[in-house]
Amino acid sequence: MSANQSSISRLSSNNDTDLNTQQVWTAVDDYIEAHLVETNPILEKTLENTARQGYPSHLHIAPNQAKMLTMLIKMNGAKRILEFGTFAAYSTIVMAQALPEDGYILTIENRDTHHALAVENIENAGLSNIIDARHGRASEVLQSLSDDTPAFDFIFIDADKQSYPEYLELSLKLSRSGTIIIMDNVIRAADIIDPENQKPSIVGLRELFQVLENHPQITECTAIQTVGCKGYDGFAMAIVK
């Protein structure tokens, strides 16, 4: 193994981030949140209800990342949002709060337990009028939409990583010129560049990068690595041509 490869394996061999390093990342996220993220009782209730039912907190996006979604939605004046992977609807509720009164979010979750939790959190948040939470496989839910469904302005892909290439293609079918697509968890602590890692999720993410590269329907795209309370990961983002 080359020196370079061995350092990649070391980096990405999971749970290997120095405890101290993770504590510093978390402390900086806490600092950012304390200064720049308003307290939000509805979101606190969502997190509390989710934790009370025994679900792990690392599956939600972080509060400062949620704020980034809010800002992108407002920057683009988005009104119609599509989300793949609702989990507890934390990100869904964040995005709903960024929308004008006539906004709409379609969010799709295939796990029945996650979908049920999401519906509960959305009802508790009083946002059932804006959020359309569907249960099922994304391809089937989207196929069931009527042919004259208007395009979505903003799309957040945050579901099973193995299927990201499929979700990207489904997204492009429901996009217009200028639609923004954000994809969560595309770095996975550098696992994507570890040739020995052949987990389906990681193989799916590498395929996503290949699809994004020179896609005829995408005008701009990039990926940004992130560190913070959720560890080392990152977002990919694309603008539809």
* Residue 194 contacts Mg ion per CB under 5 A: no
Of 83 and 103, which CB lies nearer to ligand DHB in the complex structure? 83
Determine the Cα–Cα distance for residues 93 and 119; give it in Å rounded to an integer: 11
Unique residue bearing structure tokens 């980096």: 11
Whole-angstrom CA distances from 41 to 46, 129, 185 are: 9, 19, 26
Which residues neighbour 122 within 8 Å (Cβ) at sequence distance 6 or greater?
89, 92, 93, 128, 131, 133
Starting from the edge strand earliest in sequence, which strands make up the sheet with 231-240, in order?
Answer: 131-135, 104-109, 80-84, 152-157, 175-184, 231-240, 218-228
> Counting contacts by CB under 6 A, is residue 191 touching ligand DHB?
no
The correct pick among 65, 86, 91, 185 for binding ligand DHB (CB under 6 A) is 185
Give whichever of 103 and 238 is closer to ligand DHB, judged by the CB atom.
238
- Tell me: does residue 109 bind Mg ion (CB under 5 A): no
The interface mask with Mg ion, positions 161-190, x = CB under 5 A, is -----------------------xx-----
Contact map string, positions 27 to 66, toward ligand DHB, x by CB under 6 A? -------------------------------xx-------
Exposure b/e, 142-161, CB count within 10 A at least 16 = b: beeeeeeeeebbbbbbbbbb
- Residue 143 phi/psi, 5-degree rounding, is -65, -30
Per CB under 6 A, does 166 bind ligand DHB? no
Residues 147/67, Cβ–Cβ less than 8 Å: no
Single residue of 109, 153, 158, 191 touching ligand DHB by CB under 6 A: 158
- In the three-class reduction of DSSP (H, G, I as helix; E, B as strand; rest coil), residue 106 is classed as strand
Does position 233 interact with Mg ion (CB under 5 A)? The reply is no
Which among 135, 148, 70, 59 has a CA at the least distance from the CA of 103? 70
Query: Smallest distance from the beta carbon of 88 to ligand DHB, in angstroms?
Result: 11
What tokens were used for 40?
């939000």
Residue 83 binds Mg ion, judged by CB under 5 A:
no
Count the residues of the shown chain that bind Mg ion, applying the rule CB under 5 A: 3
52, interface contact from Mg ion, ligand DHB, none, CB < 5-8 Å by kind? none
Q: Closer to Mg ion by CB, 150 or 200: give it.
A: 200
Residue facing ligand DHB at closest CB distance: 58
**What is the contact surface with ligand DHB in residues (CB under 6 A)?**
58-59, 158, 184-185
